[in-house]
Chains A and B, each alone.
Chain A
Amino acid sequence: MHIMWFTERAYHHVPEEEVLKLRSFFGVPNRFFDASKGAALLNQYLDEKIYSDELGTFDGVMLNEHHGTPFCMGAVMDVEAAVLARCTRRVKIVLLGNPLPVAANPVRLAEELAMIDMISGGRLVPGWVRGAGSEQLANNANPAYNREYFEEAHDLVIATWTRPGPFRWEGKHFNFRFVNPWVLPLQKPHPPIWIPGLISPETVRWCAEHRYPYVALATMLEPTLDMWRLYTDRAAELGYQAGPENFGYLQPIFVHETDEKADEMGRKFLFGGGFSHFARPEWMFPPGYNSKAATRRLASLYANPNTPGLSFVSQDHTEDLEALRETIHAAYDGSKESLQMIAGSPRTVVAKLRKVLSVLRPGIFSFWLDGPAPARDRMTCLKLLGTEVIPQVREIGKQLGLVGPFERAPGSVSLGPSGRPEYVGSMEGLLA
């Protein structure tokens, strides 16, 4: 099992009212940004990563990238990855992921990642995303070509790493007359690639076709299992049996010495991390970003304001910010009940994690620690994760046979003689 942790690198000093008024983190005017405060936070986040490496029990640290939002300052994730490549010794540096459609120059991206892989001694795990809708606006990347950019940039990065140069690339969207980079990844033929996602069936199938592990980003348990099934079915069509090594899961988890203290941290996550309430449709779904099928699903959501899940698109136009704040915070207990979020002492957390791991059976697991909790509480959380929670999670992983992608190559298990795949995970795991 591969165990890592993740944090958005949030800028916590924006007045909450500004985000509430706008109903969005994206688009908050950057006059609210103070670079000296931002600098302190960026270094704090790097120090946390280095500390978790020193704890010796984490297998990896995970980074992501967003643009133009106080929600995440990691606008150029590869810079942070480069620092960690030199300042950590043990952990994998897992990038979930580089937004390929906004990389105007995929050859340069391939070079950046190759350098990170070399400096880290071959500890890089790159990953690719389409980028949120807002990323396309922030980078002027035409959202109508988002999936085409994604696929072509992916093919070009892989070619840059693996095809002997010099060669010429003439695609629909990218043209390079002389590809012959002098920096190439240490890991051969190229670093392992994982793909994070928020339940896009197109992406899940694409992952299965490339035998890339799919890491679900804190999605609800049942729809996540649906994605596992979709992946497993596509894998079976291609002749292989998907296993835990093909799946990963990210989950918000807050650990402290007592349940009460952990709850205090967790509650802050709703504002500082629970972004689903802060997503405006015009920035979530720029033109052509969604497939026609996804647009059709949304169209019916719009038609029925009582559809569950509609909070994903903020439809609440109330002027009363206090009431809005209360609505958001009231979601905390529900999130804990549905196991979308776990908070508590190590003992409490491990018991709930056993359920989640039994349901999803992922070979990759990432703790997600976020929200504007004081730095010392975040360090306490990391320490307890590293010293008390992870050893027990590993034990559970062994009992459940949760094989990670470094133990068994994803896509390496042939489909059984029946031709029918076995599915990974089941809601019955809740009884664990």
Chain B
Amino acid sequence: MADKEWTEEKVRVGGTELVIVKGGQGKPLLVLHGELGWPGWTSWMSSLAKERTLLTPIHPGFGKTAMADWIMSIRDLAGFYQRYVREQKLGPVDVIGHSLGGWIAAEMAAANSTQFNRMILVAPTGIRPPQGEIMDMFTVTARVYLTRGAHDPQKPDFAKLFGGEQTPEQYEAWEEARAETARLAWEPYMFNPSLPHLLEGIDGLPTLLLWGKQDAVVPLSAAEVYQRSIKGAKVVTIDNCGHYPGAEQPAEFLKHVRAFLG
């Protein structure tokens, strides 16, 4: 890589200095990372950055952005990001959220769908699956959670991000992310019973639900509830893929993302 493809900038949102990882060109795309933090500038981000400006805020409490004591639920965090979108005059913006980040996007949309143009939820948590359970990240180590969640942890992008020896820095980053996720989503674990009801109020937000067919973290049955709740939402599944489509099947993942964003 000749030049670093991304920079960090700080934006003040209320009492918080929010760190945004920014890279690419073109129309902005808000990227909401998942429960173990932002894993770094991945290959799909690098590709998409050729046509879109990717804005990845590091959630408060997940390392680069300091914890905000008052944020104690995903709905609090969604409220915080609505303020960010409003004050930065980003709306209506396209959004993509993975897992816990997908839940944040869904909560934001439920509160005010006009801030979004198009919404992609990649294996989002947030809804209790009617069949199966969301895999509990808190009774295993971060490494085990990641490995069990992937269909094939040996896939190159996945192995590059999460394989190999665990470094002290990685351990600290994961522990910090786990701690903040516990503050936000300990109980009920990774869902909000009122979310499906609030999602029913969304009118005319094009939504793509992108799911690995072999997702062992968020059972596919949750996709059906999301689809029922959000009018017109489309579900696309990717075969031979677990909970991390961007890292496990980057080509397929990009194809669907591009087709949907247009």
The residues of B that contact A295 with a CB separation of less than 8 Å are: 171-172, 175-176
Question: With the chains together, A196 CA to B166 CA distance in Å?
Answer: 33
Tell me which of B108-116, B134-142, B191-199 binds A.
B134-142
The residues of B that contact A287 with a CB separation of less than 8 Å are: 138, 175, 178-179, 181-182
The residues of A that contact B144 with a CB separation of less than 8 Å are: 282
Interface centre among B144, B169, B182 (most CB of A within 10 A): B182
The residues of A that contact B140 with a CB separation of less than 8 Å are: 282
Interface centre among A282, A285, A290 (most CB of B within 10 A): A282
The residues of B that contact A142 with a CB separation of less than 8 Å are: 182-183, 186-187
User: Are B171's CB and A288's CB within 8 A?
Assistant: no
User: Are B179's CB and A299's CB within 8 A?
Assistant: no
**In the assembled complex, A140 has its CB within 8 A of some CB on chain B:** yes
Q: How would residues 271 to 290 of chain A score, 1 for a CB under 8 Å from any chain B CB and 0 otherwise?
A: 00000000001110111101
- CB proximity to B under 8 Å, residues A379-404: none
Chain B residue nearest to A285 (CB atoms) is: B175
Interface centre among B140, B172, B175 (most CB of A within 10 A): B175
User: Are A302's CB and B171's CB within 8 A?
Assistant: yes
Q: Identify which of A282, A292, A300, A303 contacts B141 (C-beta below 8 A).
A: A282
User: Are B171's CB and A299's CB within 8 A?
Assistant: yes
Q: How many B residues touch the partner, as a band?
A: 20 to 34
The residues of A that contact B141 with a CB separation of less than 8 Å are: 281-282
User: Are B179's CB and A288's CB within 8 A?
Assistant: yes
**In the assembled complex, A296 has its CB within 8 A of some CB on chain B:** yes
- Nearest Cβ in chain B — how far from A309, in angstroms? 16
**In the assembled complex, A199 has its CB within 8 A of some CB on chain B:** no
Chain B residue nearest to A143 (CB atoms) is: B182
Question: With the chains together, A299 CA to B168 CA distance in Å?
Answer: 5
The residues of A that contact B179 with a CB separation of less than 8 Å are: 144, 287-288
**In the assembled complex, B167 has its CB within 8 A of some CB on chain A:** yes
Question: With the chains together, A145 CA to B171 CA distance in Å?
Answer: 20
Known: A137-B138, A282-B141, A282-B144. A145 touches B183 (CB 8 A): yes
User: Are A288's CB and B178's CB within 8 A?
Assistant: yes
User: Are B168's CB and A282's CB within 8 A?
Assistant: no
- Nearest Cβ in chain B — how far from A75, in angstroms? 19
User: Are B171's CB and A140's CB within 8 A?
Assistant: no
User: Are A302's CB and B182's CB within 8 A?
Assistant: no
Chain A residue nearest to B173 (CB atoms) is: A299
**In the assembled complex, A432 has its CB within 8 A of some CB on chain B:** no
The residues of B that contact A299 with a CB separation of less than 8 Å are: 168-169, 171-172, 175
The residues of A that contact B178 with a CB separation of less than 8 Å are: 287-288
Chain B residue nearest to A304 (CB atoms) is: B168
User: Are A144's CB and B139's CB within 8 A?
Assistant: no
Chain B residue nearest to A27 (CB atoms) is: B139
Question: With the chains together, A303 CA to B138 CA distance in Å?
Answer: 22
- Nearest Cβ in chain B — how far from A125, in angstroms? 33
**In the assembled complex, B180 has its CB within 8 A of some CB on chain A:** yes
Question: With the chains together, A144 CA to B168 CA distance in Å?
Answer: 20
Known: A144-B182, A287-B178. A303 touches B139 (CB 8 A): no
The residues of B that contact A290 with a CB separation of less than 8 Å are: 175
Question: With the chains together, A281 CA to B175 CA distance in Å?
Answer: 12
The residues of A that contact B167 with a CB separation of less than 8 Å are: 303
Question: With the chains together, A144 CA to B184 CA distance in Å?
Answer: 10
- CB proximity to B under 8 Å, residues A138-195: 140, 142-145
- Nearest Cβ in chain B — how far from A30, in angstroms? 16
User: Are B186's CB and A144's CB within 8 A?
Assistant: yes
Question: With the chains together, A234 CA to B187 CA distance in Å?
Answer: 37
User: Are A140's CB and B168's CB within 8 A?
Assistant: no
Question: With the chains together, A302 CA to B168 CA distance in Å?
Answer: 7
- Nearest Cβ in chain B — how far from A308, in angstroms? 17
The residues of A that contact B166 with a CB separation of less than 8 Å are: 302
Question: With the chains together, A292 CA to B171 CA distance in Å?
Answer: 11
User: Are A288's CB and B139's CB within 8 A?
Assistant: no
The residues of A that contact B186 with a CB separation of less than 8 Å are: 140, 142, 144
Q: Identify which of B168, B181, B183 contacts A303 (C-beta below 8 A).
A: B168
Question: With the chains together, A298 CA to B169 CA distance in Å?
Answer: 11
Question: With the chains together, A302 CA to B170 CA distance in Å?
Answer: 11
- CB proximity to A under 8 Å, residues B33-82: none
Chain A residue nearest to B183 (CB atoms) is: A144
The residues of A that contact B138 with a CB separation of less than 8 Å are: 137, 143, 282, 286-287
Question: With the chains together, A285 CA to B139 CA distance in Å?
Answer: 10
The residues of B that contact A145 with a CB separation of less than 8 Å are: 183
Chain A residue nearest to B181 (CB atoms) is: A287
The residues of B that contact A300 with a CB separation of less than 8 Å are: 168
- Nearest Cβ in chain B — how far from A142, in angstroms? 4
Interface centre among A137, A288, A292 (most CB of B within 10 A): A288
The residues of B that contact A137 with a CB separation of less than 8 Å are: 138-139
The residues of B that contact A144 with a CB separation of less than 8 Å are: 179-180, 182-183, 186
The residues of A that contact B169 with a CB separation of less than 8 Å are: 299
Chain B residue nearest to A289 (CB atoms) is: B179
- Nearest Cβ in chain A — how far from B167, in angstroms? 7
Question: With the chains together, A288 CA to B172 CA distance in Å?
Answer: 11
The residues of B that contact A286 with a CB separation of less than 8 Å are: 138, 182
User: Are B171's CB and A298's CB within 8 A?
Assistant: yes
Chain A residue nearest to B166 (CB atoms) is: A302
Q: How would residues 82 to 107 of chain A score, 1 for a CB under 8 Å from any chain B CB and 0 otherwise?
A: 00000000000000000000000000
Question: With the chains together, A129 CA to B242 CA distance in Å?
Answer: 40
Question: With the chains together, A217 CA to B186 CA distance in Å?
Answer: 30
Question: With the chains together, A288 CA to B174 CA distance in Å?
Answer: 11
The residues of A that contact B171 with a CB separation of less than 8 Å are: 295, 298-299, 302-303
Known: A144-B183, A287-B178. 6 other contacts (CB 8 A): A137-B138, A144-B179, A288-B183, A292-B176, A298-B171, A299-B175
Can you offer 21 A-B residue contacts whose CB atoms are under 8 A? Answer: A137-B139, A140-B187, A142-B183, A142-B186, A145-B183, A282-B138, A283-B139, A286-B182, A287-B175, A287-B179, A287-B182, A288-B182, A288-B183, A295-B171, A295-B175, A296-B172, A299-B172, A299-B175, A302-B166, A302-B171, A303-B168
Sorted from nearest, which 9 A-B pairs have the closest CB atoms? A288-B179, A287-B178, A299-B168, A144-B182, A287-B182, A142-B186, A299-B171, A303-B168, A144-B183
